[in-house]
Amino acid sequence: MKLRLWPRSLIGQLVFAVAVMLFVAQAVNFALLVRGQKQQTLAHGGGMAVARIIDAVDRDRRGDFRRGSREERGSPHERERAQKLVISDVPVPVPSGAVRLPDLADYVANLLSDADVAAQSVDAWAMPQKPRLRANFPGRTVIVSAQIDGRYFAVRSRIPTSGNRLQGFLVWQTLSLYLLLLVPIMVIAWRAAAPLRYLTRAARANPALRDATPLEEEGPSDVRDLIIAFNAYRGRIATMLSDKDRMLGAVGHDLRTPLASLRVRVEQVDDDALRDKMIASIEEMAAMLTDILALARSGAGTEGREPVALRRLVEELAADYRERGKDVTVSAAVDTTVMARPLLLRRALRNLIDNAAAYGQRARLSVERGQGEVRIIVSDDGPGLTDEQIRTLIEPFARGEQSRNRATGGSGLGLSIARDIAEGEGGTLTLSNRAGGGLNAVIKLPTIGPR
């Protein structure tokens, strides 16, 4: 599985971007603070050591010290805390456990050079800290040794160690910044994202469902303007669909009347063969008109949704077809219920069964339940379809049999009507070839649970 670091949602992207920027800013801040603390530590410990060395060099040049002497004043406790000075003709021995500090040595050498004191060599060590001194005198004891005029001057000093306090401060500072910045950003992003989620859900709904209530205008001004425009747009679509239904209803009524009148006149034709052909043409026109009106009104109508037991529905449909001599059976059906308009769902299934019985010899019905959805499958034993036919036959007026005879080719609207009905119920219609031959027409609908 491919790891995805960049989130997809608006809230996730804003929070992720701000969190990364805060982390980078705090990392830079930490680097600058560490560098500043290091300079302050060097200045505190090295500056005092340089002042002590310069003073000792001046006094030594005046002869105030005897060679190899040690300066010690005050009580033992004060001598422990005070800086100590050693002047020797040989290098000062490195104490056991001491750690060399090259940065402090370079810093002291630069200060001595700035003070016009020529040092042949400079070295520095950090002494191991005793537990009792660590508690009473926080910091590190260091020894700085400089070779000047052929003699070695070594002083002892202390440098502060506040690295743990600095890290703790930065941790608390980072957490505070995250709380102060990320929480308001999450609130603002959620305030903008929640209406967008509702808008996305409404945009994915079938526009033929004209009973949808307008979305509540909420969120930032830009989001509110988008919701206002969407509500107006959906209202115009509903108005256009209503006008279309009224127009088609009028057209259907106006066409059925002359067709009925023409049928009466055709009955008076004496030639039996000619009369039968004319009557067949009129019936084909009437049936095609019925299919066209059904396709146009597949998402409309006044029928309300109600719980539909699918097992009982497919068993009733199969029994009805068997009574008419059609080979339609129920292979398997689980007990499950969907919210749908029963008459429209029956029409969709009848269209699929008619196709299976006409082109696939027989039809087998089954109902399967999946995760949050139910599948109504109409299977046949026909030759199946090519991928191109599967893509095109579901469109209006597309037919697999190209004749104009309704008895063999149909009007090409059955699958389109079934698809629109399925989408109007919140589902889908898919066609797929079955292994071993035959075609599966599957209507997927959201389920509401067992009966």
- State residue 223's pLDDT score: 83
Task: Give Rg (Cα) of the chain.
Answer: 46
- State residue 22's pLDDT score: 84
User: Is the pLDDT at 321 greater than 50, yes or no?
Assistant: yes
- State residue 21's pLDDT score: 85
- Name the range with the highest mean pLDDT among 26-30, 234-238, 374-378: 374-378
- State residue 344's pLDDT score: 82
Sign of the dihedral through C-alpha 381, 385, 387, 393: negative
- Rounded CA separation 413/297 (Å): 13
Tokens standing for 431?
């066609």
**CATH number among 3.40.50.2300, 3.30.365.10, 3.30.565.10, 3.40.50.620, domain 303-446:** 3.30.565.10
Give the confidence band of 375 by pLDDT, cuts at 50, 70, 90.
very high
Query: What's the distance, CA 385 to chain centroid?
Result: 37
Q: Please indicate whether residue 82 or residue 320 has the higher confidence score (pLDDT).
A: 320
- Rounded CA separation 360/118 (Å): 106
Least confident of 59-68, 312-321, 327-336: 59-68
- Percentage of the chain beyond pLDDT 90 is 7
Give the confidence band of 212 by pLDDT, cuts at 50, 70, 90.
low
Q: Please indicate whether residue 300 or residue 446 has the higher confidence score (pLDDT).
A: 446
Report which of 396, 382, 369, 389 is spatially closest to residue 431, judged by C-alpha positions: 389
- Rounded CA separation 119/105 (Å): 11
**What type of residue is 362?**
R
Least confident of 180-189, 215-224, 442-451: 442-451
- State residue 211's pLDDT score: 59
pLDDT in tens, 281-305: 888 777 777 766 665 665 555 567 8
User: Is the pLDDT at 67 greater than 50, yes or no?
Assistant: no
- State residue 412's pLDDT score: 61
User: Is the pLDDT at 221 greater than 80, yes or no?
Assistant: yes
List 154's β-bridge partners, or say none. Answer: 86, 145
- Rounded CA separation 32/25 (Å): 11
How many CB atoms sit inside 10 A of residue 389's CB? 15
Q: Give 137's DSSP letter.
A: S
- State residue 403's pLDDT score: 42
pLDDT in tens, 10-42: 777 777 888 888 888 888 887 887 777 777 777
Report domain extents, the chain.
10-164, 303-446
Count the alpha carbons within 13 Å of 162 in the hemisphere toward its beta carbon: 16
pTM: 0.47
Tokens standing for 147?
């070779």
Give the confidence band of 134 by pLDDT, cuts at 50, 70, 90.
very low
Contact 189, 10 (CB under 8 A): yes
Query: What's the distance, CA 172 to chain centroid?
Result: 30
Q: What's the whole-number mean pLDDT along residues 430-443?
A: 87
- State residue 152's pLDDT score: 85
Look over the chain and give the mean of its residue pLDDT values, rounded to a whole number. Answer: 77
Count the alpha carbons within 13 Å of 33 in the hemisphere toward its beta carbon: 16
What is the end-to-end Cα distance of the chain in Å, rounded?
A: 38
In Å, what is the CA distance from 58 to each residue of 26, 54, 150, 271?
47, 6, 14, 143
- State residue 70's pLDDT score: 45
At which residue do the structure tokens 């696939």 appear?
360
User: Is the pLDDT at 276 greater than 80, yes or no?
Assistant: yes
Report which of 448, 14, 382, 342 is spatially closest to residue 189, judged by C-alpha positions: 14
pLDDT in tens, 144-196: 888 888 888 888 877 766 555 666 777 787 788 888 888 888 888 888 888 88
- List, as one string, the DSSP characters of 317-385: HHHHHHHTT--EEEEEE---EEEE-HHHHHHHHHHHHHHHHHHSS-EEEEEEE-SSEEEEEEEE-S---
